Amino acid sequence: MYTTEFEYVRAATLDEAISLLKEDKDAKLLAGGHSLLPAMKFRLARPGKLIDIGRIEDLRGIDKSKDTVSIGALTTHAMIAASDDVPTALSEAAAGVGDPQVRVRGTIGGNIAHADPGSDLPIVLVALGATVQLMGSGGKRSVAAEDFFMGLFETALSEGEVITSIEIPVSGKGSGSAYAKLANPASRYAMVGAAATLTVNNGTCDDCSVAVGGLTHMAIKAPSVAAALVGKEISDESIVEAAQAVQSDLGGDILSDIHANEEYRRAMATVIVKNALTDAAARA
Ligand SMILES: Cc1cc2nc3c(=O)[nH]c(=O)nc-3n(C[C@H](O)[C@H](O)[C@H](O)COP(=O)(O)OP(=O)(O)OC[C@H]3O[C@@H](n4cnc5c(N)ncnc54)[C@H](O)[C@@H]3O)c2cc1C
């Protein structure tokens, strides 16, 4: 399948990308092309111009300081999967994205801007309390991942804005994180995905954050799961009980398709949250 005709321009710097975006409302940014080009071939997107940001090296790379891990928007899934500096839940999720070709080309910025409900990284970023750094002609702003994802393929990105990086707080001693999913057997997108991060002190859960996605329109927090586990001794029983609480966080609008209907996805949410909690607790 062919795309409709479009103009192609390569931006050498972030400033150039922002001014090119500003001067043409019909233009779209091109990063790894692994969501945008398929969408164009299916005629779901028909941009008149593509602004290729793929060679802006300032937007690529992982930088860890005492408090924060900063991941440039153009950092690929393969780079994140191979990094010891990012939380385990994120490298684990990146390692399970699609196939090797998708991981080598696809970027974290493109992944979260596209906001596919089956994307893995949004789920992890919501659980980890990440913030998304944006830049446009009006200046910089920062949006909590929890507020960035607004619906099916819908984000808080305003017209003309570029995602520059994602910032993740570094967690302290005694903490562990994990990502688990029920993958679509063909694409590997999450039909149900769950990320968990928790801190354990003398066998007791001191802190916990869980997010789910794949079955909901966007990645969402699961506060009932966290509330059910905090203050409890970590055991198979307390984890199973906490995982069951995800049912009250899911809401009424669950996705359904030929691969998995609503009832199956709902049932699997408890299992996948349990798996993420179990692995995170083992790493804490
Ligand atoms: C076969 C296949 C299997 C896949 N499986 C999975 C999977 O299992 N899990 C998963 O999570 N994903 C999966 N994906 C999606 C993959 O992760 C994509 O790489 C990713 O969603 C998009 O990243 P990209 O860099 O390719 O972005 P592009 O396709 O270049 O862009 C996607 C969108 O983001 C916008 N954009 C890109 N960069 C920026 C930026 N810095 N600021 C603002 N907007 C920007 C573009 O304008 C476009 O609208 C799969 C894709 C394919 C083709």
Measured by CA distance, the residue closest to atom 11 of ligand 1 is 119
Calculate the CA 126 to chain-centre distance: 7
Task: Indicate whether 72 belongs to any domain.
Answer: yes
The pLDDT of residue 150 is: 97
Asked if 85 and 163 sit in the same domain, the reply is yes
Q: Which two tokens stand for residue 65?
A: 């300081």
Between the CA of 1 and the centroid of ligand 1 the distance, in Å, is 19
Residues 249 and 188 in one domain: yes
**CATH number for the domain including 18?**
3.30.43.10
pLDDT tens digits, one per residue of 33-60: 999 999 999 999 999 999 999 999 999 9
Which residues, in sequence order, are CB contacts of 212 under 8 Å at separation 6+?
123, 192, 193, 194, 219, 220, 222, 246, 249, 250, 269, 272, 273
With a cut of 90, say whether residue 72 has pLDDT above it.
Answer: yes
The boundaries of the domain holding residue 159 are: 60-169
The answer on 196 and 153 residing in a single domain is no
Confidence of residue 282 (pLDDT cuts 50, 70, 90): very high
pLDDT value, residue 169:
97
Give me the CATH number covering residue 121: 3.30.465.10
Domain boundary among 169, 192, 211: 169
Q: Is the beta carbon of 28 within 6 A of some atom in ligand 1?
A: yes
**C-alpha to C-alpha distances, 260 to 40, 146, 263, nearest whole angstrom:** 26, 26, 8
**Is the pLDDT score of 2 beyond 90?**
no
CATH of the domain at 212: 3.30.390.50
Number of domains in the chain: 3
Q: Which pLDDT value is given to residue 203?
A: 96
- Looking at the CA of residue 122, tell me the nearest atom of ligand 1: 11
229 and 258 both lie in a single domain: yes
Asked whether residue 107 is assigned to any structural domain, the reply reads: yes
Asked if residue 55 belongs to a domain, the reply is: no
**Mean pLDDT on 200-218:** 97
- CB distance 131 to ligand 1 below 6 Å: no
- Among protein residues, the one with the nearest Cα to ligand 1's atom 46 is 29
pLDDT of residue 172: 86
In DSSP notation, 221-274 reads: E-HHHHHHHTTSBP-HHHHHHHHHGGGGTS-S-----SS--HHHHHHHHHHHHH
CB 183 within 8 A of CB 268: no
The minimum-distance atom of ligand 1 relative to the CA of 134 is 42
Q: Is 0.85 topped by the overall pTM?
A: yes
Does 145 reside within a domain? yes
Q: How would you list the strands of the sheet with 131-136, edge to edge?
A: 62-64, 68-72, 162-169, 131-136, 139-144
Q: Which of 121, 136, 169 is the last residue of a domain?
A: 169
Where residue 1 falls among pLDDT bands split at 50, 70, 90? Answer: confident
- How far apart are the C-alpha atoms of 4 and 41, rounded to whole Å? 8
* Rounded Cα–Cα distance for residues 189 and 275 (Å): 17
pLDDT at 261 over 90: yes
- Atom of ligand 1 minimally distant from the CA of 36: 29
225 and 134 in a single domain? The answer is: no
Residue 1 located in a structural domain: no
Say if residue 123 is in the same domain as residue 105: yes
Using alpha carbons, select from 153, 86, 53 the residue that is nearest to residue 113: 153
Tokens 């409890």 belong to 232
Q: What is the pLDDT of residue 158?
A: 95
Same domain? 277 vs 256? yes
Nearest-angstrom CA–CA distance, 266 and 246: 9
Mean pLDDT across 90-118 = 98
Q: Is 123 in the pocket of ligand 1 (CB under 6 A)?
A: no
Do residues 200 and 152 share a domain? no
The answer, yes or no, to whether residue 280 has pLDDT greater than 90, is yes
- Whole-number Å distance, alpha carbon 35 to ligand 1 midpoint, is 4
Residues 164 and 184 in one domain: no
What does the mean pLDDT of the chain come to? 97
Tens digits of residue pLDDT in 121-157: 999 999 999 999 999 999 999 999 999 999 999 999 9
Domain boundary among 117, 139, 169: 169
